A and B are shown apart, each in its own frame.
Chain A
Amino acid sequence: MTQQGSSIPTPKRHGISATEARQLSERVLKFSKAENARVNITSGIQGFTRSAANRVTTAGVQDDISVQITSAFGKRVATIDTNRLDDTSLERAVRESESLARISPENPQYLPELGPQTYSDLDGYYESTGNLSTESRAQAATLGIKAADAAKAIASGYIEVRAGSQSIATSKGLFGYYARTGVSSTLTVRTSDGLSSGWAGSEGADWNTIESRRVADDAVRKCQEWRGKTSLEPGKYLVVLEPVAAGMLLGLLRGAFDARSADEGRSFFSKPGSGNRIGEKLFDSRVTLISDPSEKNAEATPFAPGGLPIRRETWIENGVLKELAYNRFWAERQGVAPRSNPSNLRMSGGDASVEDMIKSVNRGVLITRFFYIRSTNPRTIAYTGVTRDGTFIIENGKVSRPVNNFRFNQSITEMLSNIQALGRPMRVAGEDGTVGAGIVVPPMLVRDFNLTSISDAV
């Protein structure tokens, strides 16, 4: 816990405390008659303030808890999730999970619950975020509205706060607890004629790192600079991806580091013949991808839903595939140690700023962010999507003019082999403005990025 000044009463944290989580888990486990039982609890608040058309349109808060009870008899297992905490409801939920488990067919992949584990002693809860008031959110939203107003433009933005806790307990004596906060602020500024749009965002665990002023200024600036967009043909371009654009693509890799689908021959990481490609150099030597629950301002839960510890992992090091994630079942089958999927992601970078990268480009495209990214081919980790809110052509080391948006069709694995330069990594906001997993990535200069058709959208 972060200590506050001794004379100031500390407001209660959102979500249940470690002691409450332990007590609630024990109440549930006492009702249990199963051979194996597990309780996963998630609790806390989500608060939001939305603005559009230069006004606050909606704001609110929700407070909820989820008590997930897993019961198993041999390999017959079922899960019940409830948000009712009285004894009658909890006992009913336990009984229901048991009767559901008893009538379920066996799940050969189910392994008995884990006993005590060692988790890193992390606290991802920032009081600055947990104690943020409705007024403060409204004032931050008004900052964006006023900046847009002053530029005779229209703001629409979103500020979201999440604060709460997660815990895990098993009938084998395991207990884990983690508290965390997250906050995201994103802003779109459009000209009143609807012909230009700019976006900026900031996301973190700590409200004190949210740069409301910078977000307002950047969104207005992007909107002004993109005014009067000109046409540019589709094609393969050298592109500068701002950190948010890079993060939207790289974050998708988290789901791809799965050993089983690789071993089963249905992933990019499958080895022709059989097995997977651990140990092979697959990308540019500057590519190093890690996940680390203790990443500052992008902290993540140190345990997986089943109880496996989540530790710092290096997935790609200097372009070489170092690890894949193995769930307990698959690890046992393959005779290796289990390893949890990444929950956050950091890509190492260099020292270059976006401006430095632009200076090095003779002819290329600067991309602010993407939208509606969807998989087109899991074997090459290829995606399609569109650019939006600030797309520019770079000529002779300068951003020379705004251009139309594009649809892209691009393999991320190919992109990681086509790197020219990497900048300073930063935590980025996501596409939907919801507080998401911590993605910390650098801006990237990438050659042969496949912009396949024009998008007229603004």
Chain B
Amino acid sequence: MARAQVEAQPAATGGGLVVMVGLGVAFLLFMAFLNVVKSGNLLNDSNLLYAALIFYCGAGVLYVAFGVTGIPSYIRFASLATWGGLLANTGAVAHRWYEAGHPPFATIYEMLLSFVWTLAVLTLIAEKKYGVKIIGTVTMPVAIVGVVLMQLLRTEVHPLVPALQSTWLHVHVTLAMLAYAACALSFALAMMFLIKDNIKTETFLGATSLFSIATYLGVLTRFEKWGGLNVVAWDPGRKAEVFLSKGVRLYVVIPDLGWMMLLVLATVTVPFVLYLAWRKTNDEGLINLANRAVFVGILLQVLALVFFILRARDAQYASLDVDGLNATSLAASPFILSGLIGGIFVSLLYLLLLWRREDLERMLPSAEELDRITYRTIAIAFPLLTLMIAAGAYWANRTWGSYWSWDPKETWAAITWLVYAGYLHMRITRGWRGRRAAYFAILGFAVVMFTFFGVTYLLPGLHAYA
């Protein structure tokens, strides 16, 4: 559908790119179709997901192109492509649901599926209802990363262990995905507010390099003696992580990858150090140097990602805890993978800002409007967070006999709730608007990310399934 219209209007302003993206989408869909015809299995969730990926990629390119050039026809086709992706994504969710017999929230693969779906819906809502057209520039790449991650992760349906067979679990996870997607949106809006509010580009440099540093520090918690990197072992037969005992995963060591990560950490630290030096001396040369360092950093990060994928994918390594070789798989390390991809993505966003700031600013609604919409998305996210925690507590009460056990995930969910509660109090009773409120919204989302990824990855607890 979208394809036909793309080709029908080549004369529109900036039509060249639209036609190219349209043809690309058509070509990839056609190739996929040939494959499908060969296998004879048209409608399964991986095919649909592949279609969604193609549409989202098309949308992503057009959104970014809109962000850079501001040609209005791009946004129209970007929306159409998003609709196409959403349709395929919905099909994938429905198929998965039908095949598994339960709503798709049980495994990390299924949760990503639902998260990407929610993100696409919210993007369209933000665009149509609130007129934040540029939002897709941020959310579509996130959706693409999500779908790519899903392609790498396990796809087959796992039966649910007894503790997970509860409607309340589905309610809990649905609410969590909705709330987290709303938080993600409020974060993107707060960032746009800061761009519109004339925050110095250099400050963004400091923030993005700090993010990369934090990511690689997180990855390096898995650093092993003599430069290895610990990853979770994977049982290819059962398609599951290997556990030594309850809650204790078996780690295998990929040799030398730790050094690689250490090198990248050193590289991404350089722009931050230069930024700090610039703040002291105000020497513009330092910032130019830092920007060049960011560029080198991106190249090294891509290299680290490639090495990680090559070495962690379906290989066998020794472990410190048991004798013999154990297999590993990308599916066993979803958090390292998303950390690496996230780091690259954030650095690229910084480059976009560095080179095209004026164009970006032209595209955005007014600062006041962005501030208001940020507040409104948090007004949606906060009740959802509340209900999410309540549904989780109710489920825990039915399953473990206690509605609150101070498990790390629970505690961090409560902390997230408190941070947003703080935001609301400051905004309502203290009249916090603008920059301070935006910083608070960003802090809130950082805590959400830690709750979602960091707690599962770094802290032990009951939420081990997800």
Chains A and B belong together in one complex: no
CB within 8 Å of B: which residues of A?
Answer: none
CB within 8 Å of A: which residues of B?
Answer: none
